[in-house]
Amino acid sequence: MNQLEQLKQFTTIVADTGDFQSIKAFAPRDATTNPSLILKAVQKPEYAPLLSQTVKEHANLATGDIIDRLLITFGQEILKIIPGRVSTETDARLSFDTQGTIDKGHALIKLYEAAGIDRERVLIKIASTWEGIRAAEVLQKAGVHCNLTLLFSLPQAIACAEAKVQLISPFVGRIYDWYKKSTGQDYTGADDPGVQSVKQIYSYFRKFGYATEVMGASFRNTSQIIELAGCDLLTISPDLLQKLAESDAPVTRKLSLEDAQQSDIKKINLDETTFRTMLNDDAMATEKLAEGIRQFSADAVKLEKMVDALR
């Protein structure tokens, strides 16, 4: 078996792309998108008609509502290919607006259901700010499953688990990027700070019995992926899925429930003050969370301009 086939024995594989035509070859169970991936996709000739058609069909709507329909269109196409769930992201500019995020989550689910898609097949992606986590808590209670993204630290993960969100996406590659830039040192294998962060979160969740799924995300190389074999899910870009499929090097389980339950990690009593203090004390997590929100917000603006240009 190649590495991708071996990895599927231990972990659910998720495709991290808006390019749904590239998904078929790798047979993932789920797929994730984000504003940057959708923006990248609609700039390709094969997806440009989807954008123009969506704008034409909903020209009487506000720009933001047209973009919501574009996201649903991509989600529908992806769900024709995969057997599982698709993640669709809320506007990053709502990252500090709890009620706005709740309203957007319900709006997106309503659009999916109007298109004949069961809400069980959709995850609403929300930034792991305190406000975003509170919004996810409300949405989950209403039967809207959430994927908390832009997650770089244990306090973010714990707050998500205690809010009973469906799934979290800790960002391996962006953590690696920060430490590599900060220290001038490269990291591989188990020494990678991004890998270590996901292992810590996985151990904490499994030791203390949280049901929230852990999905490693934002990978820079296959070494990071292989080190997290056994994680609940891993969302991987098509180029790295291809590299895994081209290698037959051995893959062994690195994360397990048994090891997690035997770890010496300590329980943290987390309230809003502790959350904000711990996040503030973590320069990497603070900087990468802010940077990620700015980046996704900027890409949302670019997408708006593309829509407006087609009106």
Active site residue ranges: 125
**HEC secondary structure over 148-217:** EEEECCHHHHHHHHHCCCCEEEEEHHHHHHHHHHHHCCCCCHHHCHHHHHHHHHHHHHHHCCCCCEEEEE
Question: What are the residues whose beta carbons fall under 8 Å from the beta carbon of 43, sequence distance 6 or more?
Answer: none
> Could you give the CA distance from residue 169 to residue 146 in angstroms, rounded to a whole number?
11
> Could you give the CA distance from residue 306 to residue 248 in angstroms, rounded to a whole number?
42
> Residue 55 has which token pair?
């704008």
> Could you give the CA distance from residue 253 to residue 237 in angstroms, rounded to a whole number?
21
Three-state DSSP class for residue 5? helix
Residues forming beta bridges with residue 146, ordered by sequence position: 124
Three-state DSSP class for residue 15? strand
Alpha helices in the chain (DSSP H): 3-7, 35-42, 48-57, 63-79, 98-114, 130-141, 154-162, 172-183, 193-207, 222-226, 238-245, 257-262, 272-281, 283-309
CA angle (75, 91, 240) in 5-degree steps: 55
> Could you give the CA distance from residue 19 to residue 3 in angstroms, rounded to a whole number?
22
